[in-house]
Amino acid sequence: MEEMKSWIDDMIDEYKSGRNELEKLKQSLDGKSPQIKEDRKLVNGMINDMTYSLDWLKKGRRPGNRRGLDRRAAYQRSAYMEMDILPSFDPVSTELTEETKKRLVDVLLEFSNRERECYLMHMAQGFSYQQIADLLSISRRTVQQYVERAKKKLKKSLSLTYK
């Protein structure tokens, strides 16, 4: 079954294509004349604005703006960064780089509290859906939905990062 694209996905695609066109325009602006320098500066500003808008559309909130929860969770973020809770993507290496850890923390912060809690209990600590359901006093199916939703967000975020 093919997943339906929402209007926001269509808008993100349009902004991406617009940003790509601006990148092409920027590449075509060669020369040292004052007018071309001014044009490049204007196009760079437009590219930055498009990138900012894309981040806003993807995250659903203003980029770089930390919500109260994010600020209060500073101690939790540092704890996540110190823990090697996720396996390395490289089968030879067993340690994550600091950049990868920071990226994973940012992805984890995009999850809701329940999604993050269920995902970490299941994936990092190895609890079954039923064990998590019993601990949190929710149904097994609800736990499964939280974990699946978190996996989708993680997959989408990682695919956007490496495109």
DSSP 51-90: HHHHHHHHHSS-TTPPPHHHHHTHHHHHHHHHS--S--SS
Q: How many residues does the chain have?
A: 163
- Residue 67 — very low, low, confident or very high, per pLDDT cuts 50/70/90? low
More confident: 70 or 119: 119
Q: Has residue 144 got a pLDDT over 90?
A: yes
Q: Has residue 142 got a pLDDT over 80?
A: yes
More confident: 28 or 5: 28
Average pLDDT (14-42) is: 90
Q: Report the alpha-carbon angle 111-116-119, nearest 5.
A: 120
- Residue 42 — very low, low, confident or very high, per pLDDT cuts 50/70/90? very high
Would you tell me the crossing angle of helices 140-161 and 129-136 to the nearest 10 degrees? 110
60: left (phi over 0), alpha (psi -120 to 50) or beta: left
Q: Which two tokens stand for residue 91?
A: 């089968």
d(CA 132, CA 117): 9
Judge contact between 149 and 115, C-beta under 8 A.
Answer: yes
Q: Which two tokens stand for residue 109?
A: 């912060």
Q: Where are the domains of the chain?
A: 1-63, 70-163
- Residue 77 — very low, low, confident or very high, per pLDDT cuts 50/70/90? very low
Judge contact between 146 and 116, C-beta under 8 A.
Answer: no
Q: What are phi and psi of 64, to 5 degrees?
A: 80, -10
> What are 88-139's pLDDT values in tens digits?
444 444 466 777 777 777 788 888 889 988 998 898 888 899 999 998 999 9
Given the candidates 2.40.160.40, 3.40.640.10, 3.40.50.720, 1.10.10.10, the CATH classification of the domain at 70-163 is: 1.10.10.10
